[in-house]
Structure 1
Amino acid sequence: MYFRDFLTILFVLEVTKAVLHEEASIKLFDYLIEKNNLVQDFEKSGLQLPDDTDFIKQLIIGYSDSETAYKGRAEKTFLYEIVANKTTGIDVDKWDYFARDCHHLGINSSFDTKRFLTFAWVCEVDNRKQICIRDKEVDDLYEMFHTRYNLHRRAYQHKVVKVIEEMITDALIIANNHMEGYFGKKIAISETVDDMEAFVKVTDYILNYILNSTDENLSPAREILERLQRRQLFPYVGQKRLKHDITDIDEDSICRKIAAKCNGDPRLEDIAVNVITIDYGMKDKDPIDNMRFYKKGSAEATKLSKSKIIQLLPKHFRQRFIYVFIKKRNPESMAAVTKALNELYPEDDPAVLEEN
């Protein structure tokens, strides 16, 4: 999947308030089975339907405490930790994008997946079979989560990435109800999550269609994408780093407060705010707390005491930032938004912000 594909699909999931990326994957899985008449092929391969297809869907979602969890595989609960591990966050989904993105971004990852697999055992934990690891490998696990943190800090949540995401989102919102020529039927981009035949077309080609379209309704969206091609990005105003325990913060309310202080120049719709969170995958918690370790020569897996961990750990496992952009490229608007941001969130306010 290309990076722009990801942003386009992210737009669809955000606008439609889809709870999980995995839910769209399951809908797409059902669509592919039906579209390609795979039921007979599955049965010829010895798969039991619908139990085995339900099992595949549960692997995509990961472990759940609901009554339907582990359907057909209650005796092998560790299988649900392989693709999407909701217990520890250690799964092959991460390993896949680590290998891909570290390679293309030139970011080193010292986490050794082959070594992890060598020391991974299935142990009984709280009456459930769980993937556990040798106690001496704890430092390697922290390296994995630190790699995740670095990828988010230096790539996925970088301010340039966020402003490109903002510009593509603006273009798609404008184009949302004017893409009948692309899909071949009257459907909004944001509605494609419920129509897999249309959803499979939500790729970077949707942006090429907008760029090459002569539809006047798509003209404002086309202008944004052309601006993006020329690298004329929305100007970056600045950022504020929040204390790790600040949670009650909303992007829309920050925009309104900044606009109010600017007295109409720039306007509310010309201000963009991103509140981003960078963590180890478990919000403000240490993900290793949920991992169980075994000692050499023992089949018993237990939680590892912090006193046994020699690695220097971060004081907090989550950082939150406010990124502020402006869609008007002029010094007066930039100065007004900068002043408003600093007045709303002064650097010396110990109750709200840490020093940048």
Structure 2
Amino acid sequence: MTLQLISRIAPQEYISEVGAYERLASALETRFIKRVLFLHGTKSMKKAARYLPDLSRQGIQVVDVLFNGECSNNEIQRIIDLVKNEKINAIIGLGGGKVLDTAKAAGYKAGSVPVILLPTMASNCAAWSCLSVLYKDNGECIGHEIYPSQTSLVLVEPRVILDSPIDYFIAGVADTIAKWYESDLLLQQTTRKSLALFFAREAARQCLEIPLNHAEKAIQDMRDGRLTDDWTQVMETNIMASGLVAGFGDEYGRATAAHAIHDALTIRAETHHLLHGIKVAYGILVELVIENKMDEMQRLLPFYRALGLPLSLADLSLGDLSMDEIRDIAVSALKPTSLIHMHPMKCTVDTVYNAMIELEKWSEQNAVK
């Protein structure tokens, strides 16, 4: 199998340390940036504010912009218009994945305006990757876009992320382990000799092994408010290692079936309150059924239980779906733009539908009595 291989490995600079935000003003100065658009959410700003420098004292003009809630084409265009009308030199995005993805999309589409990202949660690899996941204004996922330019700077302040909601951290762990399962067959089956693909596979391996070995303790450390090595390692795996898989591997390391199931689930309004990684966690199990890896499902079962990850449609508030409604999700998973077409097993609607039904039987058999 020959797929595209263009490595877009990492942000130009990445700093993860206590006090990272203190570097922001000097980073802007060294980039000759004098006027920034600061895009953020309300909750994220409240968490981060006490660690942020006063940029105005450094002679930097700030246009403060509150994020509208979805990384949609309308929101991206709104930011682009502000960048152009306000004569902005750079965009700073502070918040979760949708804020960061909006900043990246708007920065590129406004003419490759430099983007600086300050993630306030470790719920995905948005701070690392050079792509944006796009949604309709109503929350329905419509795909993703990849950009040829990387983020200029990522600043990770561990104290802010440690103080973020634990359920987002858990969702990030689920999204991270998907990197291994989704890239596994693609990277196994290629005959292409490339050091980039070797690095992609090693990064994917860490996306599984580090969470399996350290995530439970890291989550407890987070509950206790303790900035430990276990927590830091899992936090950075969510942000960095997961981004390196596609960063090195390109189409060989892209999302496939698990994320296609996530995208399909978003056609149901009942799932819109669920975090991205939670729906991906369910998608991992569907993918493993498709690949007939029942032993691997049994290996993951204690981990899923410990983290409270979904094993069935009922765990996604979809327990009352009819067979036709389940098939509708399978149909959506096979739409022409779906990521599932990257999967080497050439899935069909029946493949996905049957896997979802089989997963319901498996989860029932493995229910805690």
TM-score (norm 1): 0.25
TM-score (norm 2): 0.24
Which structure features the higher share of helix residues?
A: 2
